[in-house]
Amino acid sequence: MKKNPELLAYCGLYCGACSFKAAYDKNLREHIMTLPSQYDEYKDKPLQFCPGCRMDPGGADCEIRNCARDKSVDHCGVCDDFVCDKIADFCSDGVPHHSEILSNLYTVREIGEDAWLERQRSKWTCECGATISWYLRKCVQCDKSIH
Ligand SMILES: [Zn+2]
Task: Give residue 4 CA to ligand 1 midpoint distance, Å.
Answer: 22
Residue 39 inside a domain? The answer is: yes
Residue 9 inside a domain? The answer is: yes
Residue 30 inside a domain? The answer is: yes
Residue 68 inside a domain? The answer is: yes
Residue 50 inside a domain? The answer is: yes
Task: Give residue 34 CA to ligand 1 midpoint distance, Å.
Answer: 16
Residue 112 inside a domain? The answer is: yes
How many Å apart are CA 115 and CA 136, to the nearest integer? Answer: 24
* Residues comprising the chain, all counted: 147
Task: Give residue 135 CA to ligand 1 midpoint distance, Å.
Answer: 14
Residue 77 inside a domain? The answer is: yes
Q: Which residues pair with 125 in a beta bridge?
A: 131
pLDDT per residue, tens digit, the chain (147 aa), is 456 778 999 999 999 999 999 999 999 999 999 999 999 999 999 999 988 888 887 767 799 999 999 999 999 999 999 999 999 999 999 999 999 999 999 999 999 999 999 999 999 999 999 999 999 999 999 999 997
